[in-house]
Amino acid sequence: MSPPSAITVLTHGQPADTHGAVRRLLQVSAGAGVEVHLPLEEAEKHDIEPHPGVVVGIEAPGNVDLAVVLGGDGTILKALRLVTGRQIPVFAFNFGAIGFLSTVDHGQIEDGLKRAMSGDFDVIALPALSVVADGQRRLAVNDISFHRRPGKRVAELAYSVEGEQLGRVRCDGLVASTPVGSTGYNLANGGPVLAWGVEGFVVSFIAPHTLTARSLVVAPDHTLRVLNLSDRDEVDVTTDGHTVCALACRAHLDLRFEDDQALLAQLPGATFYHRLREKFGRLAN
């Protein structure tokens, strides 16, 4: 990659954890002649005033070449959603628990900043899932999920692909995950892990009340339709964990696979399988 001329920065909700790293980032970027565009929230969080080389109040992504994240997978997902559809890579330092999407761990701050400012990293194009909710197209890098509401009856969802109804399941919900998201909610549901680069997405169920519900991998050019069969209870719909709408009784939504929607930075030679072993193998020790 070419060295960036301007970057934006996003950090997670514990500024004390990232304060020192942000200060070091500003020093390294100044030395490299890279302009930093800070959203007002980030500037206030880290008590940073505008000064030469640092512009405050430009909301991400702005006119930048790179988004630098200091946080966990939630913050990284936020950054990926912000740059969706733009050719802006996300270079992430893991300041979370797992950091499956991170480029480097927070202990590698010096090497990571050097690589970020010099463009010494590879990028992988990530797909997303799309849904039109309340007239607005929404994209999810991880997953789109359907949940019964707290205190309400078990959801009854029907699902079909390309017009062929494949089943109806009484459950707490349904999750459609990209390969990137397959190691999240889908994995907790017992769904399969999809390697990055696999074309397609996986459907799994949250606490199904049947022995016959099975996960399904859907081809990338096929549309998944989810129907709420209930006559009395709506179902909440979320994209990457954020509620975006309610699926009314007897209503349906269509989900589609969208290729190459975001760019994630990774170290040269890094592979999905190495990432899987390092992140999930570490938790088993």
Residues noted as catalytic: 73
Dig out the tokens for 35 from the structure.
């302009």
**8 vs 58: CA distance, rounded Å:** 9
Tokens 């559809």 belong to 85
Q: Cα-flanking dihedrals φ and ψ of residue 201, to 5°?
A: -140, 165
Give start and end residues of each alpha helix (H) in the chain.
15-32, 40-45, 73-82, 109-118, 185-188, 272-284
Residues 6+ apart with CB under 8 A from 35: 5, 6, 7, 29, 53, 54, 55
Neighbours of 280 (CB within 10 A): 14
Q: CB count, 10 Å around CB of 214?
A: 15
- Least Cα distance to 81 among 228, 241, 246 occurs for 241
Pairing of strands 216-218, 242-247: unpaired
Classified as helix, coil or strand, 267 is coil
**φ, ψ (nearest 5 deg) of residue 173:** 165, 180
